[in-house]
Structure 1
Amino acid sequence: MTILDRYLAGAVISGTLLTLGGLTPLMGIFLLSDELNTIGTARYGLGEAMLFTLLSLPRYLYQLFPIATLIGALFGLGTLASRSELVAMRAAGISVAQLVRSALLGGVLLALLAVVLGEWIAPIAEQRGLELRRVALSGEAAQHTPHGFWAIDDGAYVNIRAIQSGTQLVDIDIYRVDASAGTLEATHAKHAYYQNGRWLLTDIARSRVSKHGVQVEQIAEAEWNSLLDPDLLKVVVIDPQVLPVWGLYTYIRFMAVNQQDASAYEVAFWAKVLHPVLTLSMILIAIPLLLGSARTSGLGRRLLVGILVGLLYYLISRSFAYLALLFGLNALLASVAAPVLFISAALWWLRRVG
């Protein structure tokens, strides 16, 4: 890596980190304001809301990372352009391709940072935050594990492998032990539905173990006298954006085996897989924005254009995601469409500038 490479890569990295530093408190204020209506409910006070906000921040910063990279590259490299350093580099024989390569070296490090944030830090922090919020709001003991959602329900241990909504559950196991009678009852139901104020289990297999032996029975459907609150379960529905790539892949396979619609998780999976590419593409977009107006536009104007381009990208990418969910489009194509469109436009613009 040459001195020029380090200089330009450092400008991109420092600009992005400064941008993230400015966005973090702003995002924290927005997230905390969303919790104001909930503060005071049960044991959910201001301290719990602030801790939940803090634990939620990594996920939102991960989602904003590409846009922050675009703004940061415009800020870092734009500072060089405002001092005519980019013009001097071009006059010294540095090609546009060399400038792009040096800036992308910084982008690679930023993409790695985003992967660490999105695959390790954010999922762990978000799940702990949701657990804290859930316990404070409901007072019920419940926990998410790799094997589903666990809860204690009126003395019974309940495991739910998938929560499609607060009122629709998949693969439910209920274990009840009666120590005085020396019996163990294990119930498995393929589905559970909350209707008319009560839970209904379907496709039930029930085993009862006692000193007299094992009794097994199959039941088409039965009422479930459970204390589980549908509003609590709505809180713990697995948000695709919370899961890491490997967790999404596992969950998609589980949903496929159970013949459930996993399109939302497929879209989130490919979006996370393509996230590093998206981060790098933002730098490709920033370079022509800078070179195309290096002498005629101030830094503030270029930053404004960058913010608008970032918002445009976000709107287009979300539109493709919603179209995939509404019309059953291929999740990979829906996730690739926006990056390909913007990268193609950036490369075309780079050719014109070069």
Structure 2
Amino acid sequence: MRLPVTLSIYFGRAFALAVLAMLFALTALVSLFDFLELLRESASRPQAGLGIVCEIEVLRLPWSMMQILPFAVLLGGIFAFWRLARSSELVVVRAAGISAWQFLAVPVLMAALLGALGTGGVSPVSALMFGRAEILDNAYLKPGGGPLSLNGGELWVRQTDTGMVPDGVAVLHAQDVVLHGKSLEADKVTVLRLDAQSALLARIEAAHATLDAGDWTLSDANVLAPDNAPRHAATLEFPTDLTVRRVQESFASPDALSFWALPGFIRLLKQSGFSATQHELAFQALAALPLLCATMALVAAGFSMRPSRRGGAMNMLVSGVSCGFALFMISEVANQFGTSGAVPVVLAAWAPAVAGLFLALALLLHLEDG
């Protein structure tokens, strides 16, 4: 028996309203605790007033919604299906010959669409606002910090170098790296110029370097090359495709880049010699978000459609919430394995969603009586 359009709209609306209400409620709760933490951090920072703290928290709101979305689908779905089961509406529908797979099609599809909207639509806005929040956080709440401080102020870069040979490579190491507006300055700079077979062509030691407008300006540089006498240069221009923006973004959180910007940036990171594991993991996690949301909808249905007259409804609801948090813990563990390189990035990002999907399907097959 086909599911009537009116009934499909009814189930879809009940599910969507419950999920959206849960999403806004959970986002407000998480934002409140995050705001209190920001207030605690700003207590010792006179330059960070209440306006700055409020601005940072508002800028983080879309990012918080993206993180909470799968749990909003789970909890909202549990509430929606439990309410339908408690009012015996599901009983009537199933007595009319409509199987669980039919009336779950619309809620699961809507959950997947919500995930796709989050990945393709909310992600660019979230990344833009989260990046701005990080800038304010580093400027007012963590002065003297910033993304480069997490790496000890050191910078390693691998780039193409066609100045000496067509397929040359240059490896640059700089210490005490500091960002000054649109330029980057560093001390104790070492540049190794290699050929395509990684044979050393020249070594450059410079006391100071400035990255500006696509060139490294090396000061007080000594050039050492095999079979050549050392050469000193007061100033030496070294071309590079690296930019200050790319340096900032490479050390910044992957959450500051949208789903559409991540693939191109991952390629740039690899070309520049940076590790792209975290960015690849973030991209795959965003790609898996629609499947994860659909999985959460199925899990919610499996743990909340039990008729109240059969008893044990509360235990089923608690089990559903516990299962959702178990999937969250599995996802976090998989992310750690993926970041460390112990497992492939694709497996780390997709395994929790696929495992949850199989669990939900098994539960529904067990509960569905035809």
Q: Same fold (TM over 0.5)?
A: yes
Counterpart for residue 202 of structure 1: 190
What is the one-letter code of the residue matched to 1:22? A
Aligned match of 1:256 in 261, 270, 283?
Answer: 270
- Consecutive unaligned residues of structure 2, counting only runs of 5 or more, are 159-169, 178-185, 194-201, 212-246
Worse-superposed segment, 299-308 or 5-14 = 299-308
What is the one-letter code of the residue matched to 2:175? Y
Give matches, 1:284-299, under 5 Å.
Answer: 284-292=298-306, 294-296=308-310
TM-score norm. by structure 1 comes to 0.74
Return the offset for 1:171. 5.2
Percent identical among aligned pairs is 26
In 2, distance between residues paired with 1:236 and 1:163?
A: 13
Return the offset for 1:16. 0.6
Return the offset for 1:4. 1.1
In 1, distance between residues paired with 2:208 and 2:311?
A: 69
Asked if the contact 1:166–1:237 (Cα under 8 Å) also holds between the matched residues in 2, the reply is no
In 1, distance between residues paired with 2:82 and 2:356?
A: 20
Counterpart for residue 205 of structure 2: 220
Counterpart for residue 356 of structure 2: 342
In 2, distance between residues paired with 1:327 and 1:108?
A: 29
What is the one-letter code of the residue matched to 2:59? L
Return the offset for 1:333. 1.1
Counterpart for residue 15 of structure 2: 12
Aligned match of 2:47 in 35, 43, 46?
Answer: 43
Counterpart for residue 122 of structure 1: 126
In 2, distance between residues paired with 1:167 and 1:193?
A: 6
Aligned-residue RMSD, C-alpha:
3.4
SS at 1:270 equivalent: helix
In 1, distance between residues paired with 2:251 and 2:37?
A: 19
In 2, distance between residues paired with 1:86 and 1:166?
A: 59
Worse-superposed segment, 301-310 or 32-41 = 301-310
SS at 1:246 equivalent: coil
In 1, distance between residues paired with 2:38 and 2:29?
A: 15
In 2, distance between residues paired with 1:293 and 1:199?
A: 70
In 1, distance between residues paired with 2:99 and 2:139?
A: 58
Asked if the contact 1:263–1:328 (Cα under 8 Å) also holds between the matched residues in 2, the reply is no
Return the offset for 1:42. 4.8
Worse-superposed segment, 335-344 or 109-118 = 109-118
In 1, distance between residues paired with 2:68 and 2:104?
A: 22
What is the one-letter code of the residue matched to 1:17? L
SS at 1:36 equivalent: helix
Asked if residue 245 in structure 1 is aligned to residue 259 in structure 2, the reply is: yes
Cα deviation digits, residues 109-143 of structure 1 (max 9, x gap): 42243235542221121122223333435789x9x
Counterpart for residue 86 of structure 2: 82
What is the one-letter code of the residue matched to 2:262? L
SS at 2:255 equivalent: coil
TM-score norm. by structure 2 comes to 0.71
Poorly superposed stretches of 4+, deviation over 6 Å: 233-236
Asked if residue 93 in structure 1 is aligned to residue 78 in structure 2, the reply is: no
Return the offset for 1:300. 6.0
